[in-house]
Structure 1
Amino acid sequence: MSADSVKENFDLLGFGNKELGVVPVSAYWGGYLRTEVIDPSTVKVTLDKPSAGFLQGLSMYFAGILGHTTLQLRKEDRALPQNIVATGPFVVTEHVYQEKTVLRKREGYNWEPASRGHNGAAAYTRSSWLSQAIASLPAAGVSVPVFLVGLAILQVFSFQLRWFPPIGNDGFASLVLPAVTLAIPVSAPIAQLLLKNIELGLNAPYVTVSVAKGASRLWVLVRDVLENASLPALTIAGLTLGNLPAGAAHVERRRGLVRQ
């Protein structure tokens, strides 16, 4: 990346290009006049008046610095992640909408700042078997009958390990097993919904752009994907909250804490 690349990107955002189908980003770049190259690593941007929105626009997804080859593509072709030539530790080699995105390490990448605690080539340490095992837990929670879960929990934690009392009212310890028994069937479908939304979010085009620009997987997951994926799960959680008192009375009656 050089100052010439920054100027080419800024001019396209500020002026647009009718032939390529690119319109100016007027909401954030209103009043843009020109960008001058001062030296290979410095540019000077001139606006017709002070604009706080311009600084905000620099942090938006559309302001990522793209290579010259990508900037020459039409808008619809540039939207394909595999056509993006940008900075970052990874290169998109294949993308199937809402199915998969294949990334390849960029050869010779060594641009990461010292604050990141990693030097040299990009590292990719995701464990697929672990993520698949975690993703299968909600399905198991939905499939196993509730009464069987309760009996199994009593057998293990009350009769064998003797960590919690099987019946009675002995304070906080007597509430742990009923709470777990109620939480598993309630939380399992909510977790399924959350994991599905996270999977769809990770395959979204804006995530691919963020990764291509150098964002870490944890940053993208927490700051971009999780916020959007959690909204449907929170909605379902609120709807199921009203069902808990009825289930709690049933469980506690079985454990001898509620009398008819």
Structure 2
Amino acid sequence: MTSASAARSSADAGTPSGLGAPSDDPGAPLTPASGFAWLQPFPDARFDADARTDLRLALVAAMQTLSARQRAALLLRDVLQCSAAEVATQLGTTIPAINSALQRARAALAETGDASEVTEPDDPKVRGVVDRYVRAFETANVPALVRLLIDDVVLEMPPVPVWYRGSRDYGRFIDRVFQIRGTGWAMTRLTANGQPALAAYAPQPGDGHRLHTLQVLTVTKGLVAHNVAFADPAVFEAFDLPLQISPDESARTR
């Protein structure tokens, strides 16, 4: 999905947390929802540094505070630089309606923070958090993983509508993943949406690992506040991620 189509589709769905209350059942069925389109991660290589900062701020506001219409207007107008007329056409509405939605979205964005407060993925403190997260995940150390989360951390997994809030339920769900998929994972570091991201490879029978998810992390004040884990093959393709890695490649990720 292109960045423009992802933004347009956000008017129809966006993220699982916009659809209903969080689950407290770590064994809830992980059935993808049909009839929805979801916000997708963007490879940072497509944007310069200033655009990455704008994109990150926009997505933080989009995921946490905005209505679907405001979210789409903000991403299309301010991040992708579409004109008001183009946005109105793409969303099937009027220019005044777009301007109104954009004004409210910008106000919410202003409350999220300014560019000077946004840390880049290569910030040493952020890298340190991500490194500890990787070590905990690769060794299936759930208590260590939970210690790296804020109390009301959010875990989402589009296209699955189930989502979790809180470090306890996050840990219980990840423990279930390890029970089903096994231990000894491998993770590759990259960036998406101006944020740290991890390609998570699950162990497979025999040798090597198979791509499981792309996890996009929001790190605030030295802890993980949000994880959006994507299992969409189109996302894997957009990031040029290999579907399998050999034992030698797995060892190099550590």
RCO comparison, higher one (Cα < 8 Å, 6+) = 2
Q: TM-score, normalised by structure 2?
A: 0.25
Q: TM-score, normalised by structure 1?
A: 0.24
Structure with greater helix share of residues = 1
Find the structure with the greater CA-based Rg.
1
